[in-house]
Amino acid sequence: MDIAVIEDCTRASHEERIAFGEVVGRLIAAGVERYHVDLVCGESTYFISDGQFHRVAYRPLDTRPADAFSAEGVLAAVRSIQAGRTKYLTFCRQIMDAGCVGYLVSMQGKRAVYYGRSGETYVEPFPPAAG
């Protein structure tokens, strides 16, 4: 596990210097198989296949997640960031406004799973690679 890469990816995301596709590529190269983002606590945990993990804490956003989960709201935020209309911190606020409290990204499963307070989920497959 390359902790320097993990911490740089987290920092670069929060400084809005890096896009999701680049984050995933760099994390895969660093040996990460999945990661979890807790939007409420302000921490991300990165896991590798041998059971090791590394947690990175950061200042949580000043946004409280909505009580009700809206898969449609999460989808709209995902499409907006994919289209380049928003950056990471705005995306996080938008998914929190849609009731999302955290998400899991699985490189092996090629998907992100967004979830609400009551366990509601929205699953977004990774976009196909540009060819």
Could you read off the pLDDT of 71-115 as tens digits, one per residue?
999 999 999 998 889 999 999 999 999 999 999 999 999 999 999
Strand partners, 36: 45, 104
- The whole-angstrom distance between residue 92's C-alpha and the CA centroid of its chain comes to 8
Phi, psi for 9 (deg, rounded to 5):
-65, -40
pLDDT at 1 over 90: no
For residue 17, pLDDT over 60 is answered with yes
Band (126; pLDDT cuts 50, 70, 90): confident
Given a cut of 70, whether residue 131 has pLDDT beyond it is no
The whole-number pLDDT of residue 130 equals: 47
DSSP H/E element including 123:
strand 121-125
Whole-model pTM over 0.75: yes
Q: How many C-beta atoms surround the C-beta of residue 43 within 10 A?
A: 16
The percentage of the chain sitting over the pLDDT mark of 90, rounded to a whole number, equals: 75
Q: What are the φ/ψ torsions at residue 106 (nearest 5 degrees)?
A: -110, 115
pLDDT > 50? residue 63: yes
DSSP-derived secondary structure letter, 87: -
What is the CA angle 40-45-50, rounded to 5?
A: 155
CATH code at 3-125: 3.30.1810.10
Beta bridge partners of 111: 106, 125
Average of per-residue pLDDT across 19-25: 85
Ordered by start, the domain boundaries in the chain are: 3-125
Judge whether 59 and 76 are in contact, CB under 8 Å.
no
Residue 118 pLDDT: 96
Give the pLDDT mean for 21-41: 92
Q: Is the pLDDT of residue 29 over 80?
A: yes
